[in-house]
Amino acid sequence: MSRNKYTKQAKRWVIKIGSALLTKDGKGLDYLAIEDWAQQIAQLRSQNIEIILVSSGSVAEGMSRMGWQTRPTELAKLQAAAAIGQTGLIEAYETQFKKHDIQSAQILLTHDDISNRKRYLNARNTLRTLLGLNALPIINENDTVALEEMRLGDNDTLAALVANLVEADLLVILTDQEGLFDKDPRHHDDAQLISKESASNTALQNYVGDISTTLGSGGMATKLTAAQRAARSGCATIIASGRESNVLQRLSTGENIGTLLVPDNTEIGARKQWIIAQVQASGTLFLDAGASQAVLEQGTSLLPIGVNGSEGDFKRGDIVDCKNIEGVIIARGLINYSSDEVSKLHKTASHNISDLLGYAGEAELIHRDNLVLL
């Protein structure tokens, strides 16, 4: 299928711009670059394309203002840099978008905003309202308050979660790389750019490494993972170089730039999108071969008799991962029992649950309506 289906026909884009494209090698924001991005985004909006912008750059700008030459590794200093730099980043965007009569809006998200169902829905409603008002949401992770264990970690992940959140047609990840190659182009002259591939193709994992920029926190592996996340809501992803002249407008015409990663035909509903959006699970269930097959091939609920064991401290309603006997995560879902209760139910027939727990609970550990295949 041609690129036109995924680019020319896409009417809601999430665009992620990395730090390398917004800063002058760590010397602060590149205002000329931001002016150009604003011009390109204004062009897209004039074509009746809705835009949500996920922008890096706050930490790099904060580093510049503090005179730091290297990215901090200590979380508190990263948070301080983000707090200092975020004001400058948004001010720069607002100045440029005003030239095009575009009202911008800042949104800072954390993992808690994604993991909490009520806050997730609130974020979605806010974004949809902003789009309805013809405003331009500019999103970044709220690095100033996120704890290390609860951080989304990089804006590639954030962009994919936002794409799921607003049911975007296209996710564009702009970076300082041309796209996804079959080898590391820095070390292999014969590396070939992958023009188009299915986001679910497991062979792609062999092509990504720990390629990252000095200022950014995400490499090509995070971009592939982001594309796979976005695909679960039917959203295609393009990974392309932001160094290409007028790259956004050219993508909108279907020009063959970068790597297009397309979703499978299957999409999941809004509730399951929220389940799969969680970056961290609260625990893990270990499935036997029969249960793994039933879940994957027959779409059944997960019964206690098919679970060999569990780990983690979780409560009813938490998100847990399901691993097969090879240790591969094959599904994720909302658990009906706490970890203490699950430890009593391993390899147990459902009709014995009331005898073991002292009350009649659900027959399933995870009902199929709350279970998402990965």
Quote the CA–CA distance of 264 and 200 in Å, as a whole number.
Answer: 7
pLDDT at site 59? 84
Quote the CA–CA distance of 178 and 191 in Å, as a whole number.
Answer: 12
Tokens of 280: 């961290």
pLDDT at site 281? 85
pLDDT at site 177? 86
The domains located in the chain, with CATH, are 3-272 (3.40.1160.10), 281-373 (2.30.130.10)
Quote the CA–CA distance of 236 and 172 in Å, as a whole number.
Answer: 9
Encode the chain (374 residues) as per-residue pLDDT tens digits: 567 778 878 899 999 998 889 887 667 899 999 999 999 999 999 999 999 999 988 888 888 899 888 888 888 888 888 889 999 999 999 999 999 999 999 999 887 777 777 788 888 889 999 999 999 999 988 766 554 444 555 788 889 989 988 889 999 999 988 999 887 777 778 888 999 999 888 888 877 754 444 444 457 888 998 998 888 888 899 999 999 999 999 999 999 999 999 987 665 666 677 777 666 788 999 999 999 999 999 989 999 999 999 999 998 888 899 999 999 999 998 899 999 999 999 898 988 888 888 887 888 999 888 888 87
Greatest Cα-to-Cα distance within the chain, rounded to the nearest angstrom: 70
Q: Nearest Cα to 142, choosing from 133, 130, 151? A: 151
Supply φ then ψ for residue 282, to 5 degrees. Answer: -85, -15
pLDDT at site 143? 61
pLDDT at site 373? 86
pLDDT at site 107? 93
Quote the CA–CA distance of 294 and 299 in Å, as a whole number.
Answer: 6
Tokens of 256: 């063959």
Quote the CA–CA distance of 232 and 311 in Å, as a whole number.
Answer: 27
DSSP codes of every residue in 251-301: HHTT---SEEEEPPS----HHHHHHHH-SS-SEEEEE-HHHHHIIIII-PP
pLDDT at site 216? 45
Q: CA 323: distance to chain centroid?
A: 22
Tokens of 350: 């459902």
**Sign of the dihedral defined by the CA atoms of residues 215, 219, 225, 230, in that order:** positive
pLDDT at site 14? 97
Quote the CA–CA distance of 174 and 51 in Å, as a whole number.
Answer: 14
Alpha helix (H) residue ranges in 147-246: 155-166, 220-231
pLDDT at site 214? 40
List CB contacts of 148: < 8 A, sequence separation 6 or more: 75
DSSP codes of every residue in 90-110: HHHHHHHHHTTT--EEEEEE-
pLDDT at site 26? 62
pLDDT at site 41? 97
Query: pTM to 2 decimals?
Result: 0.77
pLDDT at site 129? 94
